[in-house]
Amino acid sequence: MKDISCKLLVIGAGPGGYVCAIRAGQLGIDTVIVEAGKPGGTCLNVGCIPSKALIHAAEEYDRIVHLANGRNPLGIRTTKPELDLSQTIAWKDVIVGRLNSGVSGLLKKAKVKIVQGHARFRDGKTVEVETETGRQIIRAENVVIATGSAPVELPNLPFGGPVISSTEALALTSVPERLVVVGGGYIGLELGTAFAKMGAKVTVVEAQPRILPQYDAELTRPVAKRLQALGIEVMTGAKAMGLAKAGGTLLVEAGDGSEKSLAADKILVTVGRRPVTQEWGLDELVLDMDGPFIRIDERCQTSMRGIYAIGDVTGEPMLAHRAMAQGEMTAEIIAGHKRAWDKRSIPAVCFTDPEVVTVGLSPEDARRTEVDVKVGQFPFSANGRAMTKLAEDGFIRAVARADNHLVLGIQAVGQGVSELAAAFVLALEMGARLEDIAGTIHAHPTQGEAFQEATLKALGQELHI
């Protein structure tokens, strides 16, 4: 097989990798991308997109169930619904397939050469790829490592049998009667909530003192309230010890030190993700590491000249949009543009019920910088649009410097607040002050009005509370 030479080689066609390759192609850079699986990576194939499809299906089913029970205030009555999860999964697969084709089409449009197979470094400029038709050698002036991450496997709960990762959970064709979720982070709670709405009896086992420990307690309180309403049992301060010898039962050390047995048809382990740094020849390179992650600078450059790394393999936050932004920037740097990486305005969204959005600094984080801050918070219980949607739980909160009112962070929890994330990020990115947001006319009636009201509250000018 004839060797390939190029200016840029991208290893991995996940969100970061394919965006990097597309942007490089648009800039006229001779680009090759290598991917062992389908384009789109974890996010498109077994992560962000399929999980949101499942969450939406669960929400629709749960809504109809509540309409059927005759206890809703809307005056709507219907018959009891049925759920065919296999059809739901088939619908999800169609969406994933459409997006796979879309990514492939965009790469071809940008004149990026796609090589399918497993890549392995020979040295800093040479990679060999095992393809279906043989070994392909690729030599590149620049290389971008975008190998992503994989679910963490617990030593005492290896994947297999009833123990599954999020990948297998998104392919189930029937709803498990009893589901135990090990890990109360965003992945576990998103999927656990979805399966509870579809009829599963769900128990969450979390080792930390509370769920969603990466968020402050005030933000997660409405989520915990909703979990209780859905009948989800949450065990905090608890540790999964392993399967009972008979199987089908998870042994758990509860917070008080007692041992409990949880019967389960499926045990979903969601205790985090690890960077994929194995099996692609990391030992052939001399890269500085930051724990398990590849260390990069503000330009995504590694310790080796001409080698860049982006996305989950470079550390937290492990978010697709972070990888995309890094990929676009790296392509432009290789093209000779002046760019640098600024992570202050990266939003994080948790698609629980209700949803959680954070960008920038929380009140506690801001106070740690030894800067005096102003905090304004507006509840959805005082927002007309939220009332008409039966979505009064939650709030929007703005954090700003006390001296010049520069907005440092915005947080929200509530139904559908993920769609407000763009407004929050734009405010931080543009260097908005409280007066900028407070003086912007927000459409009425919308949940977005709570954003304006939160800044008015911080200024001491609140109108509707």
Residue 267 and residue 190 share a domain: yes
| Whole-number percent of the chain with pLDDT over 90 | 94
Predicted confidence band of residue 299 (pLDDT cuts 50, 70, 90):
very high
Q: Is residue 198 part of a domain?
A: yes
Q: What is the pLDDT of residues 344-372, one digit of tens each?
A: 899 999 999 999 999 999 999 999 998 99
Note the pLDDT tens digit of each residue in 389-433.
999 999 999 999 999 999 999 999 999 999 999 999 999 999 999
Q: Name the domain boundary from 271, 287, 317.
A: 271
Residue 343's pLDDT is 81
Q: Which two tokens stand for residue 352?
A: 């629980």
Residues 392, 367 share a domain? yes
> Is 428:345 a contact under the CB 8 Å cutoff?
yes
Q: Are residues 13 and 138 in the same domain?
A: yes
Burial class (CB in 10 A: 0-12, 13-18, 19+), 139: middle
Count of the separate structural domains present in the chain: 3
What pLDDT does residue 340 have?
85
Which of 264-300 are b and which e, b meaning 16 or more Cβ less than 10 Å from the residue's Cβ? bebbbbbbebbbbbeebbbeebebeeeeebbebeeeb
Give the residues across from 179 on adjacent strands.
202, 266
71, pLDDT greater than 80: no
What range does the domain containing 375 cover? 354-458
For residue 73, pLDDT beyond 90: no
Tokens representing 320 are 């697709």
Q: What is the CATH number of the domain that holds 417?
A: 3.30.390.30
Q: Is 60 contained in some domain?
A: no
**DSSP 8-state symbol, 80:** P
Check pLDDT > 80 for residue 341. no
Last residue of a domain, one of 247, 271, 295: 271
In terms of domains, do 129 and 245 share one? no
Please check whether residues 369 and 439 belong to one and the same domain.
yes
- Say if residue 155 is exposed, middle or buried (CB neighbours under 10 Å; 0-12, 13-18, 19+): exposed
Does residue 75 sit within a domain?
Answer: no
Cα(153)–Cα(147) distance, integer angstroms: 18
- Please confirm, yes or no, whether 337 is among the known catalytic residues: no
Q: What is the pLDDT of residues 23-70, one digit of tens each?
A: 999 999 999 999 999 999 999 999 999 999 999 999 999 999 988 887
Domain identity same for 109 and 22: yes
Place 464 in a pLDDT band, splitting at 50, 70 and 90: very high
Residue 316 falls inside a structural domain:
yes
Whether residues 177 and 221 fall in one domain: yes
Any domain includes 56? no
Say yes or no: 144 and 183 in one domain.
Answer: no
Q: Strand, helix or coil at 418?
A: helix
Residues 124, 197 share a domain = no
| 174 pLDDT above the threshold of 90 | yes
Q: Are residues 103 and 220 in the same domain?
A: no
Q: What is the DSSP string of 318-371?
A: --HHHHHHHHHHHHHHHTT-------TT--EEE-SSSEEEEEE--HHHHHHTT-
Strands of the 355-360 sheet, one edge to the other: 348-350, 355-360, 407-414, 395-401, 373-379
Q: How far is CA 50 from the centre of its chain?
A: 12
Average pLDDT, the chain: 96
* Residue 77: predicted pLDDT: 87
Confidence category of residue 247, pLDDT binned at 50, 70, 90: confident
pLDDT band at 245 (very low <50, low <70, confident <90, very high): confident
Answer yes or no: is 79 within a domain: no
Domain boundary among 271, 295, 314: 271
Co-location of 314 and 398 in the same domain: no
At which residue do the structure tokens 């590149």 appear? 140
pLDDT in tens, 303-333: 999 999 999 999 999 999 999 999 999 999 9
Q: Which of 118, 405, 442, 444 is catalytic?
A: 444
Structural domain includes residue 58: no
| pLDDT at residue 342 greater than cutoff 80 | no
71 within a domain of the structure (yes/no): no
Provide the pLDDT for residue 210: 96
The CATH number of residue 238's host domain is 3.50.50.60
What's residue 72's pLDDT? Answer: 80
Shared-domain flag, residues 194 and 289: no
